[in-house]
Amino acid sequence: MFQVLARDPSCQARRGLMELAHGTVETPIFMPVGTQGTVKTLHPDELELLGAQIILGNTYHLWLRPGPETIKEFGGLHKFATWDRPMLTDSGGFQVWSLAKLRKITEEGVRFQNHLDGSRMMLTPELSMEIQAALGSDIAMLFDECPPYPCERKYAETSLGLTTRWAKRCKDWIEKNQPTSGTGIQRHFGIVQGSIWADLREKSARELVELDFDGYAIGGVSVGEPEEEMMRAVEHSVPFLPENKPRYAMGLGTPPQILEMIGRGVDMFDCVMPTRVARHGQAFTLDGPIHIKNLAFERDPRPLCESSHPHVARFSRAYIRHLFRAGEILALRLLSFHNLHFFLRLAANAREAISEGKFPEFKESFIRRYTQS
């Protein structure tokens, strides 16, 4: 399922290939987030034009609406959304934590109030696996418990025990029901927890590796902790994860954070930032982010960035600023397209640099230029 093609000689960065049911994914990879079955404002053809290899969907959102029955009737999420490349679905653990109200965590699962209509619901490891099988994603995330940041050590310790026991229940469900779901074998990734404690991160990683999954995510990061805590959580987890399996840092991050993580041996990333900040007028450039509403761009004839995709580079900053201030939907689409292209190119350039054995130099020069302005 995963093959390491090249390792940078002076850091932990590696280049790899993931063979999935809907195609091959090169790593390091950035995965656009398509929470409700769409990457906001963009058509699947545009995602292909961007070179997106794999996108994310969310079990929690799609379970609540339109519901797994509808999606199953269309043959799974790929057919429903007409996206025929790989998809990864998150398990709902984090979304219940971050979105639902009145959460109650029990050994059985998480009881909560649906954030759409307030109805009481219960998500369990088995149900999360069942929903993801119905979605037919290429990679399904295990159902985990996400400790808030900050939290007491005791809480983190108890929580990671629950995450491991839930991982075992997911594994039992998979072995009993291995969903080929008509769209080929679905892979499953465990999620390492343990919050900010190195020994708990090690314990969580070892327990998940013992259960043996197709890949491993580092969870409990990008939940409001300081950047150095995020880096340490990865440094304390990666050494206990198998070299020959993909590693996925969930929910992050900025371009510099992604490069720092690649240098620490992380292969996969997802973040809503590129598309979310686009809807607020922020565009990423090699000289750092710009806010298109800024008066400075009123007559600026240049494209958003020198590395912009032709699909967007044909428009001046002045024109996009006008559209954005006029509330034109095209502004949101152009900025979303541009920002995703920026993140996808960052990953593609990182892959090249790793193959050339020059990743540290690439990382340093990118971050220097990106942060100097």
Q: How many CA atoms lie within 13 A of 100 on its CB side?
A: 24
Task: Give catalytic residues, as residue numbers.
Answer: 90, 270
Q: How many CA atoms lie within 13 A of 191 on its CB side?
A: 32
Looking at 91-99, 104-112, 147-155, 315-323, which segment touches ligand K7H (CB under 6 A)?
91-99
Quick one: which of 8, 138, 144, 207 contacts ligand K7H (CB under 6 A)? 144
C-beta closer to ligand K7H: residue 77 or 249: 249
User: What value, to the nearest 5°, has the Cα angle with vertex 45 and ends 85 and 301?
Assistant: 130
Contact between 32 and ligand K7H per CB under 6 A: no
Burial class for 244, CB neighbours closer than 10 Å (0-12, 13-18, 19+):
exposed
| Element containing residue 5 per DSSP (H, E) | strand 2-7
Quick one: which of 90, 207, 260, 267 contacts ligand K7H (CB under 6 A)? 90
C-beta closer to ligand K7H: residue 94 or 213: 94
Using alpha carbons, select from 299, 285, 275 the residue that is nearest to residue 47: 275
3-state secondary structure of 305: coil
Q: Which of positions 220-249 make contact with ligand K7H (CB under 6 A)? A: 220-223
Find out whether 142 and 167 touch, Cβ atoms under 8 Å. yes
> What are the strands of the beta sheet with 187-192, ordered from one edge?
29-31, 268-270, 247-249, 215-218, 187-192, 139-141, 87-90, 55-58
C-beta closer to ligand K7H: residue 163 or 308: 163
Contact between 94 and ligand K7H per CB under 6 A: yes
Q: Which of positions 99-138 make contact with ligand K7H (CB under 6 A)? A: none
Minimum distance from CB of 78 to ligand K7H (Å)?
21
Residue 98: left if φ>0, alpha if ψ -120 to 50, beta else—which one?
Answer: alpha
Quick one: which of 50, 146, 320, 332 contacts ligand K7H (CB under 6 A)? 146
C-beta closer to ligand K7H: residue 97 or 366: 97
C-beta closer to ligand K7H: residue 331 or 340: 340
3-state secondary structure of 161: helix
Minimum distance from CB of 147 to ligand K7H (Å)?
10
> What are the strands of the beta sheet with 120-123, ordered from one edge?
101-105, 110-113, 120-123
| Number of residues engaging ligand K7H in binding (CB under 6 A) | 15
Minimum distance from CB of 145 to ligand K7H (Å)?
9
State how far the Cα of 364 lies from the Cα of 13, in Å rounded to an integer: 14
The 159-198 contact track toward ligand K7H, x by CB under 6 A, reads --------------------------------x-------
Contact between 139 and ligand K7H per CB under 6 A: no
Q: Which of positions 202-221 make contact with ligand K7H (CB under 6 A)? A: 219-221
C-beta closer to ligand K7H: residue 204 or 308: 204
State how far the Cα of 157 lies from the Cα of 336, in Å rounded to an integer: 39
Cβ neighbours of residue 210 closer than 8 Å, sequence gap 6 or more: none
Q: Which residue is nearest to ligand K7H (CB)?
A: 251
**Residues of this chain that bind ligand K7H (CB under 6 A):** 90-91, 93-94, 141, 144, 146, 191, 219-223, 250-251
